[in-house]
Structure 1
């Protein structure tokens, strides 16, 4: 049995996979604790996982007018850097507090292993201070360079593997602005010497590479041949509700009243004008001649004055709602994309920011959905055409079903737990 600290920062999509992993670790006899934004305490503890709070300030910043405005302009990797610069004045103190919050949690938990999302900058430093192994874990391929594809958000250009590998320096540049903060944390709080690339460590100071686990299915993203051995794909980390969720009666009735509807939900991605987005979505559903279930999400779509052919819901577990619809339309978050593909449903991705464009392209490359419809250019006509293709093209439907069958046969959590167990065994050897 090993106490494991899992540190992650961000929206629910940055928390839910780690709850699934924690449940797998607990079933294997370990004692996991998740340290994440205080907003998610009830979500984590309801799944039987110990919790330590981190600051909610980053979520408040992203949900502010300034945050929404900056995120809406965050197109591509260069756009993400511009967003970071725009929010740097506020984000700097927030990251300093998060670093100390993770250290406080680690002192309480006293873990024998630290697993961390790369946005939880303290992860490798805390592990070093405690003398325990660190594992970087993330749901996107953003930190390990490859010649197979460019880093998230950078355009796919016909310049070959050299260009693709070069684009990963853009991510490193984005982290560089926090290097002084990370090194100050090392010296002032942990009593460690400063290091190069402190905000985006790929190796421990002794030269040991940090293991990187990607919660992604190889069916969706084949493992790059040029990845080092310490970078792995485990399969997705799904968190099912085990039948505990009871759907509202109006949703059950709506599903029973006609052909399977199209699900539309953009999670926490609302943009600056959710009313306009909602109008375009409703018009697109009408033009495509389909019914719709519109999930408002956290701060999401405006659901007032909808027609009878569209039902508004606050939320529903993806594993429950997706198999009951004809297609899914969403923002392209890693977790939502995985859930839609797992359900075997055609997917229409309407990306807002960086990694969402990557997943939209992967869905289209797989043939499990049409080309993405970016939010910046979202119109009723464009979305209606994509929805029509998703629900009427037999090849898209067949491909989506095949991808879903393959993903359902995988158990990413079990693979991850096995890899973590091997890491702990190696660390325990003299």
Structure 2
């Protein structure tokens, strides 16, 4: 079967699908990933085909820091381009579409137009529930279970509003009838498999049929990858360092964050590996090494703790590594995952990015490293995660529909 995986956003939105894609490839399917051009090498290095989707998510994040007007214009252009790109990718030929949540409205529309079934592969909870507020909602949700449900529906309603005009235009361009006003542009995909562990977020009892929590889809390591000599040397030169990285967050703030991190590392008396990310974070001092993208499954188990923005992908990688976390959430789903880490007992209380100072980060690092329970719980959870196979439910479904 020809399978097209459609995903959009940052590296964390793409990498989990390389692992799932490889498993599908090994099961005999032909697998292609539609993603933004900067991820062509990542996808190709894992042995998967690539179809480009237009748009620059890094510029989209930068626009949010510029002005509301620029942010609105950048979002509109990004969404319109994504709609056309998804339609082209599906139209180039496939037997089944596996779509991430972000481009799901366009994947569903293109699937309808080309007569191709669409399966959801979502990396964060995407169905309203009484059990907790969805990512993107206020952490407190509302007054009780009904408040959580209302908050979740509000989040999904905002997503519908963001995509509605582009979906309407795309349906017209593809010769489809207009979507009824009551229909949700972000929902409607079935079945949906969520790529996180039920040990981290159990499946809510009030989710609809056909919506499952599968388990994590661990990223594939690119073929032939070897650790850079300078990283291996740094790791061997002293005690395990902490990892510090903010992924796709804080673009163009590397200079300020580099000074802040250096001060925090000195204050905590630790060594650190700092990942540049989109912030272009720099390393300062003899006990700090700055690196580019490295496979988290190799690096993070070699660290003493992981400081990160609590994106879904990095959160998962830290849990897999079995080391304590210090979440520094910035936006979107990050406060949700940061709160989960704290509730699981693998991290101290999250330190919001807006409150970040060298003193606060240094003190939080000290607290994270000095509490044995964080490490004990992280190691225990990692052992339990290692026994799961999040790919299996997806493979079983695709095997059933392909026969």
Smaller-chain TM-score range?
A: over 0.9
How far did 1:87 drift? Answer: 2.3
Q: 1:342 to 1:197 in 2, by over 3 A?
A: farther
Q: How does 1:298-309 map onto structure 2 within 5 Å?
A: 298-303=278-283, 306-309=284-287
Q: What's the CA shift string for 1:347-399, capped at 9, x where partnerless?
A: 01111112111111100000011111111001122212221122121111100
- 1:349 aligned to 2:333? no
Give the CA deviation at 1:166: 0.2
Report the Cα distance in structure 1 between the residues aligned to 2:41 and 2:289, rounded to whole angstroms. 28
Structure 2 CA distance for aligned equivalents of residues 286 and 33 of structure 1: 45
State the alpha-carbon separation in 2 of the partners of residues 130 and 154 from structure 1: 35
- Alignment partner of 1:222 is 2:205: no
Question: C-alpha separation between the residues in 1 aligned to 2:135 and 2:81?
Answer: 27
Q: Which residue of 2 aligns with 1:385?
A: 363
Q: Equivalents in 1 of 2:287, 2:108: separation in Å?
A: 51
Q: Is the 8 A contact 1:182 1:199 kept in 2?
A: no
Number of residue pairs the alignment of both structures matches: 400
Residues 201, 241 of structure 1: CA spacing in aligned structure 2 closer, same or farther, 3 A cutoff? closer
1:58 aligns with 2:56: yes
**In structure 2, do the counterparts of structure 1 residues 52 and 315 end up closer, same or farther at CA, with 3 Å as the change threshold?**
closer
Cα RMSD between the aligned structures? 2.1
Q: Aligned in 2, Cα 1:316/1:173: closer, same or farther, shift over 3 Å?
A: closer
The residue that corresponds to 2:122 in the other structure is: 138
CA distance in 2, matches of 1:354, 1:177: 14
Task: Give secondary structure in 2 for the equivalent of 1:23.
Answer: helix
Task: Specify the SS of the correspondent of 1:15.
Answer: helix
Distance 2:374 2:75 in 1: 42
Among residues 99, 104, 108, which one is paired with 1:116 in the alignment?
Answer: 99
* Structure-2 change in CA distance of 1:140 and 1:90 (3 Å): same
Q: Is this contact kept in 1: 2:253–2:279, CA < 8 A?
A: no
Normalising by the residue count of structure 2, what TM-score does the alignment of the two structures yield? 0.93
- Give the direction of change, closer, same or farther, for the CA distance of 1:173–1:395 in structure 2 (3 Å limit): same
2-side partners of 1:274 and 1:362: how far apart? 27
Paired residues for 1:7-86 under 5 Å: 7-55=6-54, 57-62=55-60, 64=62, 66-69=63-66
Q: Which has the larger displacement, 382-391 or 218-227?
A: 382-391
Call closer, same or farther: CA 1:242–1:122 in 2, change over 3 Å. Answer: closer
The residue number in structure 2 matching 1:73 is none
Of 182-191 and 254-263, the range deviating more from structure 2 = 182-191
The yes-or-no answer on 1:400 pairing with 2:378 is yes
- For 1:407 and 1:182, the matched residues in 2 are separated by 38
Distance verdict in 2 for CA 1:134–1:242, change over 3 Å: closer
Give distance in 1, aligned partners of 2:222 and 2:394: 20
Q: Would the aligned equivalents of 1:351 and 1:373 in 2 still touch at CA under 8 Å? A: yes
CA contact (8 A) 2:160 2:184 kept: yes
Equivalent residue number for residue 235 of structure 2: 255
* Corresponding position of 1:74: none
Q: Which residue of 310, 314, 317 maps to 1:332?
A: 310
Quote how far apart the aligned CAs of 1:271 are.
Answer: 4.5
Moved more, 408-417 or 149-158: 149-158
Structure-2 separation of matches of 1:269 and 1:286: 23
Correspondence 1:154 to 2:167: no
Instruction: Summarize deviations over 1:273-318 as a string: whole Å, max 9, x none.
Output: 3222222222111111111111112343133xx1111111123210
Deviations 1:34-78 (A, max 9, x none): 1111221122122111111110x23253254x34446xxxxxxxx
TM-score (norm 1): 0.87
Cα deviation, residue 211, structure 1: 1.8
Cα–Cα, structure 1 residues 291 and 114, in superposed 2: closer, same or farther, change >3 Å?
same
When residues 356 and 175 of structure 1 are mapped into structure 2, their CA distance, relative to the original with a 3 A threshold, is: same
The answer as to whether partners of 1:144 and 1:227 remain within 8 angstroms in 2 is yes
The aligned counterpart of 1:99 is: 83
Alignment match, 2:271: 291
2:175 & 2:34 partners in 1: Cα distance?
18
Q: C-alpha separation between the residues in 1 aligned to 2:162 and 2:285?
A: 48
By how many angstroms is 1:255 displaced? 1.1
